[in-house]
Chain A
Amino acid sequence: MTNIKRAGLLGIEDLDRGEIEAILDRARYFQPLPNETYRRLDTLKGKTIVNLFFEASTRTRVSFEIAARRLGADTLTIAAQGSSVSKGESLVDTLNTLAAMRPHAIVMRHAASGAPEFLARHLQIPIVNAGDGTHEHPTQALLDARTILDHRESLTGLRVAIIGDIAHSRVARSNVHLLSKFGAEIVLCGPPSLLPRELEALAPGVRLAWSMTEAIQGADVIMMLRVQLERQHEAPMASSEYFRFYGLRVEHLELANSDVIVMHPGPINRGRELSSDVADSQRSVILNQVENGVAVRMAVLERILS
């Protein structure tokens, strides 16, 4: 198991429960109270964090920047998303440049699975994975867990349905690893070509379902995934049918537990993966997730750097 103080945070899969619990507990401390603005701290005063974003991202990038600044760190953001052809050169070239600048940590988003591992092998600096290809998005899973725990006592025994393009989702992979470590029951649901059957072997407690009603039956948590059309080489089903079979509508919620919460990593496509009235309903905790993003990232950066 990885010690994130030394290695950074590359994924959830290699973390043990204790490490995850420590981050989630600390994140709670960083959550703002109602009607209170964030405290400004100087825990990371004098530390430099480079945000290296090779792929477009607004919320994750801003969330990491705010988290770093609230802790008093200096941040520098490099948006290196050029043409796809120049990406590889950028990464190798950026390696040495970055090493010379001697930052204390690098937060990295990249379209290629494994890119943070590649960087970590060649740099002695902790790397925080802010999403790599279709592999992992560890801080998203941590903020999702924080959000669930704001509404539930524990993750153990919860029934969580994750619905959408599972095959191409780093959010799904990180969430499966995290939830499984805490003994949740996870149902992954999507059209067959976006739901490889090998997913069942990803972690204990995972079940697959093609039918949304089956997946939602008795669920405590419903996580809808963004349909990542840009990641698909071919349509998994006629796009006109997608919402009909895999879009979340108000009537679905009646199948779930009465206190079910609906989550989405954002940005949401209203009318594609969930209907507007679900997004705006009392059951939706989508805005809590965004808020928790900052708190969780503060906890991660603090744990790695202080």
Chain B
Amino acid sequence: MSSLLIVGGRVIDPASGFDGHAEVLIRDGRIVATGTGLAAEAPDVPVLDAKGAIVAPGFIDMHVHLREPGIEHAETIESGARAAAAGGFTSICCMANTIPVNDSAMTTSYIVQRAREVAVVNVFPIGAITKGSLGEELAAIGSMKEAGIVAISDDGRPVMNARVMRRAMELARALDLPVIDHCEDLNLSAGGDMHEGVQSVRLGLGGIPSTSEDVMVARDLLLAEQTGARFHVAHLSTRHSVAMVAYAKSRGLDVSCEVTPHHFAITDEELGSYDSNFKMKPPLRCHGDVDAIIEGIVSGVVDAIATDHAPHAGSEKMQEFERCPFGITGLETAIGLSLAELVHNGRITVMRLVELFTTGPDRIVKLGRGTLSPGAPGDVTVFDLDTEWTFDVQQSFSKSRNSPFHGRRFRGGPVATVVGGKIVWKREQ
């Protein structure tokens, strides 16, 4: 286990509300102290200079696809973890839609074991809700929990049968696992390739109506109320979803939601060139939805920013738009996009931003991370607000290249990523 002294930075720790210049000392992989004059206490410990940067608890991305086992040509646990580190994340939760689907303790254990061997960041598996994510029969949720899952979700293949979802929520409540739903009514979205609106009509592409998300969010919130389960909306994308989650929260339900950077950074107007790197689910919505999502981030309705990092091999995206798979990579651009769209324009404070990446997701998946409190795991994200850089997808640590943000200029981004006191990634000077 490693030790490290991080000096010279502005420490921001939402768990304690601390915001000020300080040092952070990690010994044997755990946070020992945050304060000043710590160097004298630890003359033997290696030093990371964070001058001019922000020192925050390690960022958590509660929604990524690592494609291992089964789809290793697109991503592996190793490559996905490296991309996470380069994006400033110290912990990631990986969705169950691998081959085979993570619906058993055996697959969960494989992912946990493999991550221990090759991943530079912490990897926490999410188990399937139903066997094979087919939406019919509940998966072995109890045994998966013992093997290490932190939530259940049939992300990408939503549970259409409300009765099955009810049973899953009942069980999840007893096991104290959050239920994460990719809210999409597959009958309403069938044949759709992008947000249904003026743009889809203009481009002659099949539309995915906002209602396909809204009706499922409504269904799930009602089931959550009925069962008492902790329910979380993945990648929320519509104005009505924001409003419904706000309403459920105001009534005291234990519900939460995440948004992705691409859903608050860009809209369906980007699709004019039929570039499949703008194709994902839920689809890029319109300005009104983006405004509502950002409003939800500002007001506190939104709990977390998650990337939905969804790598696809180049050949899969080199097709006619309607044949390309859904999903884009996102780990390495998340902080840059969030700074640009939320912080630099004054919508939220840096403290709130850090919260969305740390205590926010941790309250949902309960990793016991996302804080610099003494005794916590020594995970730290160092990022800055001002260095200008350009995202070059060819330099990405991911095995896939399907990002719509290639060539985008950013101001501020990850500087160094520390996991258990060890520097696992550092920006080149």
Contact = CB atoms under 8 A, between A and B. Distances in A.
B318 interface: yes
Contact of A114 (B190, B191, B197, B320): B320
Q: Which of A118, A135, A201, A233 has the most CB of B within 10 A?
A: A118
B322 interface: yes
B273 A117 contact: yes
B426 to A, nearest CB: 36
Given A132-B204, A133-B204, A170-B204, A115 B198 contact: no
Interface in A100-151: 110, 112-115, 117-118, 121, 132-136
A196 interface: yes
B274 interface: yes
A114 B323 contact: no
A164 to B, nearest CB: 15
Contacts of A117: 273-274
Contacts of A118: 274, 319-321
Contacts of A87: 320, 323
Given A132-B204, A134-B204, A233-B191, A88 B320 contact: yes
Interface residues of B, number: 21
A135 B318 CA distance: 20
23 contacts: A13-B202, A88-B320, A88-B323, A91-B320, A112-B322, A112-B323, A113-B204, A113-B205, A113-B274, A114-B203, A114-B205, A114-B274, A114-B320, A114-B322, A115-B320, A117-B274, A118-B320, A118-B321, A132-B204, A133-B204, A133-B322, A198-B201, A199-B201
Contacts of A173: 202, 204
A91 B322 CA distance: 13
* 9 tightest A-B CB contacts, nearest first: A114-B274, A135-B204, A112-B320, A134-B204, A113-B204, A88-B319, A198-B201, A88-B323, A198-B198
A196 B190 CA distance: 16
A198 B321 contact: no
Given A114-B204, A196-B207, A201-B201, 20 more contacts: A88-B319, A88-B323, A110-B320, A112-B321, A112-B322, A113-B321, A114-B203, A114-B274, A114-B320, A114-B321, A118-B319, A132-B204, A134-B205, A135-B204, A135-B205, A170-B204, A196-B201, A198-B197, A202-B201, A233-B191
Contacts of B320: 87-88, 91, 110, 112, 114-115, 118
A237 interface: no
Contacts of B274: 113-114, 117-118
A202 B321 contact: no
A278 B197 CA distance: 35
Interface in B174-225: 190-191, 196-198, 200-205, 207
B186 to A, nearest CB: 13
A181 to B, nearest CB: 15
B91 to A, nearest CB: 37
Given A91-B320, A112-B321, A198-B197, A121 B204 contact: no
Nearest to A89: B319
Interface in A165-186: 167, 170, 173
A135 B203 contact: yes
Interface in A9-31: 13
A105 B323 CA distance: 25
Contacts of B197: 198
B270 to A, nearest CB: 14
A88 B320 CA distance: 6
Nearest to B272: A117
A92 interface: yes
A195 to B, nearest CB: 10
Contacts of B319: 88, 91-92, 118
Contacts of B202: 13, 173, 202
A201 B200 CA distance: 12
A167 B202 CA distance: 10
Contacts of B322: 112-114, 133
Interface string B306-331: 00000000010011111100000000
Interface in A64-112: 87-88, 91-92, 110, 112
Nearest to A110: B320
Contacts of B198: 198, 201-202
Nearest to B315: A92
A199 B273 CA distance: 19
Contacts of B315: 92
A232 to B, nearest CB: 10
A201 B286 CA distance: 14
Contact of A233 (B190, B201, B273): B190
A298 B318 CA distance: 32
Identify the interface centre among A114, A118, A136: most chain B CB within 10 Å of its CB.
A114
Contacts of A112: 320-323
A85 B128 CA distance: 29
A113 B205 CA distance: 6
A241 B203 CA distance: 30
Contacts of B200: 198
Nearest to A135: B204
A115 B276 CA distance: 11
Interface string B385-399: 000000000000000
Contacts of A92: 315, 318-319
Contacts of A88: 319-320, 323
B329 to A, nearest CB: 20
A35 to B, nearest CB: 41
A88 B325 CA distance: 12
Nearest to A170: B204
A198 B268 CA distance: 14
A136 B200 CA distance: 13
Nearest to A85: B323
Nearest to B319: A88
Nearest to A114: B274
Contacts of B321: 112-114, 118
Interface in B404-423: none
Nearest to B205: A113
Nearest to A201: B198
